[in-house]
Structure 1
Amino acid sequence: MQLTQEWDKTFPQSDKVQHQKVTFKNRYGITLVGDLYLPKEVTQASLPALAVSGPYGAVKEQASGLYAQTMAERGYITLAFDPSFTGESGGEPRHISSPEINTEDFSAAVDFLGLQELVDKDRIGVIGICGFGGMSLNAAAADTRIKAVVTTSMYDMSRVMSKGYFDSMTAEERQGALEQMNQQRWEDAKNGEPAFAPQGLPEPSALTGEEPPFVTEYVDYYRTSRGFHPRSINSNGSWTATTALSFMNMPLLSYIGDIAPRPLLLIAGENAHSRYFSEDASKAAGDNAELLILDGLVHVDLYDHPEHIPFARIDKFFSEHLA
């Protein structure tokens, strides 16, 4: 694997942490690549650790890396990783996602962190951003080694793919989508490789003003210098045309209640189009879940704006629950 060694993140490098590129394998034998961040001054031999990933279609050089580096400044050992089939991580074909394998990626990150000499394996939490917020909750439901979970701007990707935004997809539309993707499978099988969907986000200059506000917000993050990264699917590519198939009938959050009594903190912006995912997950999780709605913020404000991301609150949560 040809891994980038120079600093190529969308955020400045901190002089308060140590950083190194690492690799590890998930349960399916796929090699994952991550950035490991450690406090510059390690004052004890057994530190809490956090696995971080997301948003959906992003890479570790974007939001997840910012979260990981910032939490390392606050005394945690952190691992921001590229999910299977994306970024620098392995897996073929490229640019496909799976509710099962991407959930497993979080547990593989826990495997890796728990084997590090400086990590207390009984004090590991996860942070999931956007679509990988749902994956992180799904991982915690089955992986009892995950002691606490924070999500920001959480998406349930299985819900949005199978039901549309705000559950607006009709039965006919669902059947139509399934029919289209299954017909595409014939073409992919004939060609020996998957076709890719059209570029998901337009160039900023192509915006007409008629798009939903959240599309404009995504373009402002992924397709401008603010958050563009060449390895990010949302910045510079697209998912395979049949990616949604595995999400259509495999709901991610069926067992979210099994996370109890381990604590959850679900953070969303007041004006985020995705806010309802966090609200519904909080209700389904029960009394162990805390919902934090931040005044005036939209979905992508929690990607890269340190003045908006409540890092002090996240630190307080993990300090209490990874004690």
Structure 2
Amino acid sequence: MLQNKSAIHTDNPVYRTRRLVNKVMLTVSFAALLFGLFWLFWIIITLISKGSAAMAWSLFTESTPGPGGAGGLANAILGSVMMAAVGTLIGTPIGILAGTYLAEFGQRGWLAPATRFLNDVLLSAPSIVIGLFIYAVYVAQVGHYSGWAGALALAILVIPVVVRSTDNMLSLVPNSLREAAAALGCPQWKIILSISYKAARSGIVTGVLLAVARISGETAPLLFTALNNQFLSFNMNGPMANLPFVIYAFASSPFEDWNNLAWSGAVLITLLVLSINILARSLFRNK
């Protein structure tokens, strides 16, 4: 008599092979996870241990000092916040509107595929190229560095991230929702505002937050646009201090107090980027 045996049995050579491969791949995957976490925690611990030397209230209230002097990073923090805020305010509406066109109106024709391709190129372009572009078209024309130039460079870095996230999130909205609203006589602009945006709201916000996290630590574009300012300044029409440049300059200096400030600035940027990424992931998961 034939015995009916389940395929999931240790006597089945195919099952034994697959179970072995599964265990090996799980082990390799777990080892890769531990490897990545090891370097992440090592970086964070190193930053905190070396940056704690200059961590004090004066870090947020005093401007960058001269060699051997006491001071903080207030001017650099203010400059980074102002340029990142202006860059986000400029790049976010452009990115959302472009992503909306791609998802809602770009189903036919050559313009949408070409735009997606160019957006992917811009998304992967080195940030120093963006800085050189803004230097050529703006800084060189006005004859001086400025916070506006830095904000414009950061805005260009924001746009492709927001375009990609908006396009992807709106494309995930079921067409049945749009068709139901259209059947009730709802115009397309109202369908986009009342249905598509509401359904994709968390994904779009997540894309904006990730764009902010990206520009928070960009150094290369600001080297050619905003440069630096040793003093606290609200004037965006002149050179403006920023954390990435201060970290770059102070870390390569021979003065220990400047090195400590550079480490503290690196801690601030790292914690900011981690916080924004955690917020973005949590927001996307809960909605």
TM-score, shorter chain, exceeding 0.5: no
Q: TM-score range by the shorter chain?
A: under 0.3
Asked which structure has the greater RCO (Cα within 8 Å, sep 6+), the reply is 2
Decide which structure has the larger Cα Rg and report it.
2
Q: TM-score when scaled to structure 1?
A: 0.23
The structure where strand makes up a greater share of residues is 1
The structure where helix makes up a greater share of residues is 2
Q: TM-score when scaled to structure 2?
A: 0.25
